[in-house]
């Protein structure tokens, strides 16, 4: 029997459209079509309902009536004061130049009439798990790349080759929308590198198909920054050499790029410009670490704001512990991250002999890290991280054989934890 010809590789990148904002609009359909930004802090729905009941006592407000809340109840961006940043924005707000990671005060100048909603990560994670389960039911080779995006290998899935992958992409889009009311954009290409670029071509709700022969017409005219892996500094250096588009990058010799950008990165730039990417879609990718952090609305001081900082510190440790437990991991390296009022950031970590996912153990060890940093300056950001992760079952088996007491600190760090800097808000 002759060998069956190998199917052409078809890889999809699926990106949910304005995911956080779209989830919020499911709860608040009265805000559809209006400029809305998400960010500036966290608030539970129960807290909002309590405020609504106080300000609008003429009726009883419940979580079933979120879609009936008057639009004029929601805060307006022009009234915001603080240093928060935008997590995402609706497309109506983006038309004014408002975008993710932009400071709220700057956004208020661009679109003062935008409505402001706090972030609700629990709700976003719930919808994230739902749309990923739907994808796996259709196409089982999926790589999770975050709360709102995935890569999918269409190559051997029924419908994955039809119309270059468009038929399967339409099925996935429809399945997600029918089950959740959310839209997504999908790019299908020979590899992950081009698929990610393609998913941006027709947002929102678009499907973009790129074949190998489309490289020069669809990819080369794009700016180099569209390549996932070309950051602002690399792009600035490329522009200094007169290279602005991917096509101009492709016209440079590999040796020239290696000479100016280093052996590894220069060779990668050449391959990327020519659309070469052999990375597989990885279905199981163990996380290296898990972390939680928060930026304060105002700078906080370790002594004068001790109670507030202590509460935030505890909450971050509990959130990281919950993330670890939900995903079945434990970690040995506990770390903290601080950003001061002068924007300088510092990190410290400490390694345990016994991996943990216990909130109390994480807080105790992170507290030891606080003793090794300067807490005399005011703080604008605080974060907690757990690294050196292993699956909980694997760790339990290893530790059972070694009989190491839970939470024991390794000798190398036991001495370093006895620093002179006072642990002010732990």
Q: DSSP states of 311-378 as a string? A: HHHHHHHHHHHHHHHHHTEEEEEEEEEEEETTS-EEEEEEEEEEEE--HHHHHHHHHHHHTTS--SS-
Decide if pLDDT at 224 tops 90.
yes
Give the pLDDT of residue 109. 93
pTM exceeds 0.75, yes or no: no
Question: What's residue 413's pLDDT?
Answer: 35
Grouping H, G, I as helix, E, B as strand and the rest as coil, residue 400 is helix
Let me know if domain 289-414 sits in CATH 3.30.1490.100.
Answer: yes
Query: Is 90 exceeded by the pLDDT of residue 407?
Result: no
Cα–Cα distance for residue pair 27/91, rounded to 1 Å: 17
Query: The domain at 19-120 falls in which architecture?
Result: 3-Layer(aba) Sandwich (3.40)
Phi, psi of 230 (to 5 degrees): -100, 105
Catalytic status, residue 248: no
The mean pLDDT of 166-188, rounded to a whole number, is: 97
What's the pLDDT tens digit per position in 51-68? 888 888 888 888 888 888
Residue 399's pLDDT band (cuts 50, 70, 90): low
Instruction: Find the range with the poorest average confidence among 220-229, 279-288, 385-394.
Output: 279-288
DSSP SS3 for 16: strand
Flag whether pLDDT at 346 surpasses 60. Answer: yes
Q: Is the CB of residue 111 less than 8 Å from the CB of residue 96?
A: yes
Q: For the chain, give the percent of residues with pLDDT over 90.
A: 68
More confident residue, 257 or 410: 257
Mean pLDDT of 108-122: 90
Which CA distances in Å does 409 have to 334, 398, 404, 417? 11, 17, 10, 10
pLDDT band at 393 (very low <50, low <70, confident <90, very high): confident
Q: Do domains 19-120 and 220-276 have the same CATH topology?
A: no
Under the banding of pLDDT at 50, 70 and 90, the label for residue 268 is very high
Q: Where are the domains of the chain?
A: 19-120, 220-276, 289-414
Query: Of 24, 143, 149, 248, which residue is the catalytic one?
Result: 149
- Return all residues near 371 (Cβ < 8 A) that are at least 6 apart: 417, 418, 419, 421, 422, 423
Section 193-222 average pLDDT: 96
Query: Is residue 313 exposed (0-12), middle (13-18) or buried (19+ Cβ within 10 Å)?
Result: buried
Top-tier CATH class for 220-276? mainly alpha
């Amino acid at each position: 029997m002759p060998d069956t010809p190998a199917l052409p590789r078809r890889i999809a990148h699926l990106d949910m459209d304005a995911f956080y904002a779209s989830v919020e609009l499911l709860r608040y359909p009265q805000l559809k079509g209006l400029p809305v930004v998400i960010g500036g802090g966290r608030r539970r729905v129960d807290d909002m309902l309590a405020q609504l009941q106080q300000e609008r006592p003429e009726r009883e407000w419940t979580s079933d009536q979120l879609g009936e809340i008057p639009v004029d109840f929601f805060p307006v961006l022009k009234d915001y004061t603080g240093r928060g940043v935008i997590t995402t924005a609706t497309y109506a707000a983006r038309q004014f130049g408002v975008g993710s990671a932009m400071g709220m005060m700057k956004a208020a100048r661009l679109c003062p009439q935008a409505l402001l909603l706090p972030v609700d990560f629990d709700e976003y994670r719930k919808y994230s798990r739902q749309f990923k389960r739907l994808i796996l039911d259709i196409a089982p080779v999926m790589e999770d790349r975050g709360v709102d995006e995935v890569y999918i290998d269409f190559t051997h899935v029924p419908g994955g080759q039809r119309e270059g992958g468009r038929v399967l992409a339409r099925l996935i889009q429809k399945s997600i929308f029918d089950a959740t009311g959310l839209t997504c954009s999908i790019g299908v290409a020979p590899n992950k590198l081009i698929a990610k670029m393609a998913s941006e071509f027709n947002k929102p709700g678009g499907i973009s198909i790129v074949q190998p022969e489309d490289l020069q017409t669809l990819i080369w005219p794009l700016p180099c920054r569209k390549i996932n892996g070309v950051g602002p500094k690399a792009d600035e250096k490329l522009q200094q050499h007169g290279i602005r588009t991917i096509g101009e990058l492709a016209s440079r010799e590999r040796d020239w790029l290696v000479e100016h950008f280093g052996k590894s990165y220069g060779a990668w730039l050449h391959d990327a410009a020519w659309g070469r990417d052999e990375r597989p879609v990885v279905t199981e990718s163990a996380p290296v670490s898990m972390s939680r952090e928060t930026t304060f609305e105002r700078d906080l001081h370790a002594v004068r704001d001790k109670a507030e900082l202590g509460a935030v510190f505890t909450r971050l440790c509990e959130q990281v512990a919950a993330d670890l437990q939900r995903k079945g991991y434990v970690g040995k390296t506990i770390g903290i991250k601080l950003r001061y009022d002068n924007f300088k950031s510092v990190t410290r970590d400490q390694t345990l002999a016994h991996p943990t996912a216990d909130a109390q153990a994480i807080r105790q060890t992170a507290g030891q890290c606080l003793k090794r940093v300067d807490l005399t300056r005011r703080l604008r950001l605080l974060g907690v991280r757990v690294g050196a992760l292993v699956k909980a079952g694997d760790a339990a088996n290893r530790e059972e054989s070694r009989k190491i007491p839970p939470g024991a600190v390794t000798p190398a760090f036991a001495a370093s934890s006895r620093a002179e800097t006072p642990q002010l808000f732990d």
